[in-house]
Structure 1
Amino acid sequence: MPSSSRRWQTTLANHGQRAELADYRAKPGAVKKLRDEVVPVLHHVKFVKAKGDIRFELSSDVPDCWLRDKPNAAPQGLEVTVAQSREQQRLGQEMNEKREWFRDISAYRTTPRKRFSRNAWRGLASCTVRKALKVIGNGIKSCLRKKDHPKYAGHDLLIEAPLHSLPNERWSRIEEDLRSVASTLPFREIHVISDHDRFPFGFRIK
């Protein structure tokens, strides 16, 4: 194959990959179901090391998908939602337009330490952690309030949240508060999962 033809195919492939990534970030149309339902479930299944079958409804029916660990087992319904979904979509659109990504709640990680004294650095990091816990925690609570309905009784709930913005151990600070809010919901179990592809992390709040 001539080298010019190979370069043209490579250019087309790269363009296709960029287009797919842009759609994944901005979540237009049918891609939203993939991004907001299929991907969080796959991250959850990977994190808990679940085995068995998954059936996605890909419709407006309740629940969003069904899980079962054996072919003859009764399927367990799983409803899926995303904390701060609008902010996530808006950020994706900005990333596509500007081709850059800046998340202020993790800015302190990339700030040169030499600009701060040790005490000032610790204060900045502590303030940023508190802000992230509050903002994302409120986003999770908002999801819980929206899903507080009898039609979900007996199903499980999975909430995707940007947990990778802080070290995993930091989330233990708000787990008890989230459990308190989740305790009155009709779901059998409620789990929170990160939106990280390579290293999913999560915790159960009911």
Structure 2
Amino acid sequence: MFNIEVLDQFYNELSKSNGMSVAEFRQKYSMLLTESRTDRDAKDYRLGKDPWKKLRDEVAPVFRFLKYSQINPSRIRFPLDNNTPDCWLLDVDGEDRGVEVTIERGRERYHLAKELNEAGEGRGFIGVQDDASQEEFDTQMSSPQSTYSTEQALDAMKSGVISCLKKKKNVRYSKVFYLLIQADLSVIPNQRWSTIENDLWQVACDLPFKEIHVIGNADGELYGFQIK
């Protein structure tokens, strides 16, 4: 059973001063995904409630990033202390590299998860930005489900990623190597994301990070792309 006690033990191992080997991290995280959870814990994970929030919003995105990328650090460490960066990849080509993680349109993700928890099924996209009013979210979520076009999804995702980028334009990240922006890339076919990559690069190029990646939020078939 993957419960809070097991989660706390995993957190303790990840946050040790020397972290854990990446091989062990991959193995343990993958094993935990196969373990059963109570309905309450599964719902709390979807909503990003403590203590599941850091697993959902920091640990899981980095795991997916390592799985899709060609980066091969020897060890990994998550400070889990709400400071910058969220993660350290240790001994990558002879250096330690910090990783900052952010979530694209996190408020929409919360409302979609809440609907799924309450109804047992839910929609996958509404296209609302994080700076929208609560009234707009309530209106969208109370409306009948409807289809969306590829153009609608691209426009919403582009605005969401650009908002994430602008929030990270800060000198405090000058020594952080990677920025990971997690988004639901499953809303449209993978090949369509290339049409907005240049627009994203125009905003990303001035940020202090050496590399910036957009990664999917699914543990199955992974997809991502680099914008800097």
Q: Same fold (TM over 0.5)?
A: yes
In the alignment, which residue of structure 1 is the partner of 2:204? 182
Residues 153-182 of structure 1 show CA distances to partners (whole Å, capped at 9, x for unaligned) of 131101001111111100000000000110
CA distance, structure 2, for counterparts of residue 91 and residue 133 of structure 1: 18
- Partners of 1:54 and 1:67 within 8 A in 2: yes
CA distance, structure 2, for counterparts of residue 69 and residue 168 of structure 1: 32
- Partners of 1:194 and 1:200 within 8 A in 2: yes
1:131 to 152, 156, 179: 152
In the alignment, which residue of structure 2 is the partner of 1:58? 80
Structure with greater contact order relative to length (CA < 8 Å, sep ≥ 6): 1
2:56 matches 1:38: no
Q: 1:37 to 1:104 in 2, by over 3 A?
A: closer
CA distance, structure 2, for counterparts of residue 148 and residue 163 of structure 1: 23
Q: CA deviation at 1:104?
A: 4.8
Q: Which amino acid aligns with 2:68?
A: F
Residues 3-27 of structure 1 show CA distances to partners (whole Å, capped at 9, x for unaligned) of xxxxxxxxxx97x442232111111
Between 1:84-93 and 1:166-175, the stretch displaced more is 84-93
Larger radius of gyration: 1
Q: Taking structure 1 as the reference length, what is the TM-score of the superposition?
A: 0.78
- Partners of 1:43 and 1:197 within 8 A in 2: yes
CA distance, structure 1, for counterparts of residue 182 and residue 121 of structure 2: 23
Give the secondary structure class of the aligned counterpart of 2:95: coil
- Partners of 2:103 and 2:181 within 8 A in 1: yes
CA distance, structure 2, for counterparts of residue 86 and residue 56 of structure 1: 24
Give the secondary structure class of the aligned counterpart of 1:75: strand
2:195 matches 1:173: yes
Q: Which amino acid aligns with 1:193?
A: I
Q: Unaligned stretches of 5+ in structure 2?
A: 1-34, 127-146
Q: Taking structure 2 as the reference length, what is the TM-score of the superposition?
A: 0.71
CA distance, structure 1, for counterparts of residue 199 and residue 191 of structure 2: 15
Q: Which amino acid aligns with 2:200?
A: L
Q: Which amino acid aligns with 2:118?
A: E
Residues 110-154 of structure 1 show CA distances to partners (whole Å, capped at 9, x for unaligned) of xxxxxxxxxxxxxxx9x7000000001111111001111001013
Residues 58-117 of structure 1 show CA distances to partners (whole Å, capped at 9, x for unaligned) of 1121111101346x9321011000001111112111111111112256xxxxxxxxxxxx
1:146 to 131, 154, 167: 167
CA distance, structure 2, for counterparts of residue 188 and residue 104 of structure 1: 31
2:100 matches 1:79: yes
Please identify runs of 4+ aligned residues in structure 1 that moved more than 3 A: none
Q: Unaligned stretches of 5+ in structure 1?
A: 1-12, 106-124
- Partners of 1:81 and 1:160 within 8 A in 2: yes
Q: Which amino acid aligns with 1:129?
A: T
What RMSD over aligned residues (CA atoms) do the two structures have, in Å?
A: 2.2
More helix by share: 1
